[in-house]
Amino acid sequence: MAVGPDVDDIAGEPAARRGAHWSNAATFFVSLLVSLLFIEIGYRAIEGLPILKLSNWRTERVVTVNLGELRGVADPVLGWKEKPWSYDEDGYTTIDYGIRQNFDETTIRTGAVLAVGDSFTEGWEVKDNESWPAVLEKLTNVPVINAGIGGYGADQVALRAEQLLPIVRPKVVIFGLHEEMIARVAYSVYGAPKPYFTLESRELRYHPPKLDEPQREAGALRSVSDRIREAMGYSAALDFILSRLAPNFWHSIGPNDLYETTSEDEAAITCSLLRRLKDETEKDGIKLMLFLQYHAPVIVAKTKDSPNLRSVAACAQASGIRTVDQYDALRAAVRASPDSNAIRDYYWYYDGVFAHMTAKGNAQAATLLANELRDWLPAIAPRATPSSAQRDSESLQQP
């Protein structure tokens, strides 16, 4: 007589199998968490970030790029610009056209130097007289108009320069540029709607900012993704990865996307805009200079391997635009110091994250530019009434 399987075996087999599945799943998740922890620690160690810091890295980054933090107003051509005649307690003052005040001037001084760029030119995190345009004015005794605007791409900078040429009527234009500004050219929204260009049959076509773009409603799925993203923000490694792979998801606030790309060739468009600006300035006998700057990690890494920046610099030089590169001077200044953290003298440093240039960093930039401008200065009239702040410039001149 055939004997069937034991009833206990039938009941026990699925239970054992379920237990094995749970055990395997638990082992997998523990292994995954340990791996992620090692990656996180390794990334922080390599980048010099605090190993034990418990902070939402995503939130900190969003604060630095969210244009709602600026003193700006919407602009139908440029996307946004600084409010004229504004002042804050941190030592930031603007006059007409959102120009940042260097010292105590109250009018737009003409016939001298126009400096355009983003926050590196504008001088975020330093006082009015500590931006590199202000220090350059001290060193050369010629007016330097600071028209930098935070968050600008190279395309917006070119447009702002073109707008201000008939107003400032400069003899020299200095175009501040770094790698991230070129990348911003390929965005139609970068913290806020911005203009962008396309190349059509090798001709530049301007597209205005979509300032009236309707915002999407936040749904349940969006709410869940926001909670997941909030938790993931405590990982510095994930912040680094997702800010590059999915910036629209990673940096958006609620239903509002802070980034929208255009898939255009940002280096080619930047090059075309520089050539256009060169043609425009040349017609009026204005000299154009391109000033290449860098974020601190590039200086620390001891390499400036940036295909976009190399491409744009080569294009500028081929177009007859004088190019000044801050990299070697900064590297030399840092290398000459016995202090291994000398880079922090030139860039602000907060809890493992480098920010904008300090007063000393801006002074180093201004000293470099003053030397490069020496042969152009005789064509520029000196300031009629030098500011008393000029007497304080000696401490800022040393790199």
- What pLDDT shows up at residue 118? 96
Position 274 scores a pLDDT of 98
Bridge partners (DSSP) listed for residue 175? 116, 290
Residue 356 has pLDDT above 90, yes or no: yes
Return the pLDDT at 59.
56
Q: Return the CATH architecture of domain 69-211+262-397.
A: 3-Layer(aba) Sandwich (3.40)
Express each pLDDT in 166-208 by its tens digit.
Answer: 999 999 999 999 999 999 999 998 888 899 999 998 899 999 9
**Structure confidence at residue 64 (pLDDT):** 46
Q: What is the mean pLDDT of residues 134-149?
A: 97
Give the pLDDT band of residue 397 (cuts 50, 70, 90). very low
Q: How confident is the model at residue 291 (pLDDT cuts 50, 70, 90)?
A: very high
- On the question of pLDDT at 213 being above 60, the answer is no
pLDDT at 67: 43
Query: Could you tell me the pLDDT band of residue 149, with boundaries at 50, 70 and 90?
Result: very high
Question: Residue 5 above 60 pLDDT?
Answer: no
Planar angle of CA 168, 170, 174, nearest 5 degrees: 110
Question: So where are the chain's domains?
Answer: 14-47, 69-211+262-397
Tell me what percent of the residues of the chain surpass a pLDDT of 70: 80
* 3-class SS letters over the chain: CCCCCCHHHHHHHHHHHHHHHHHHHHHHHHHHHHHHHHHHHHHHHHHCCCCCCCCCHHHHHHHHHCHHHCCEEEECCCEEEECCCCEECCCEEECHHHCECCCCCCCCCCCCEEEECCHHHHCCCCCHHHCHHHHHHHHHCCCEEECCCCCCCHHHHHHHHHHHHHHHCCCEEEEEECHHHHHHHHEEEECCECCEEEEECCEEEEECCCCCCCCCCCCHHHHHHHHHHHHHCCCHHHHHHHHHHCHHHHHCECCECCEEECCCCHHHHHHHHHHHHHHHHHHCCCEEEEEECCCHHHHHCCCCCCHHHHHHHHHHHHCCCEEEECHHHHHHHHHCCCCCCHHHHCEEEECCEEEEECHHHHHHHHHHHHHHCCCCHHHCCCCCCCCHHHHHCHHHHCC
* Tens digits of residue pLDDT in 220-265: 555 677 677 778 878 888 887 877 777 666 766 555 567 788 989 9
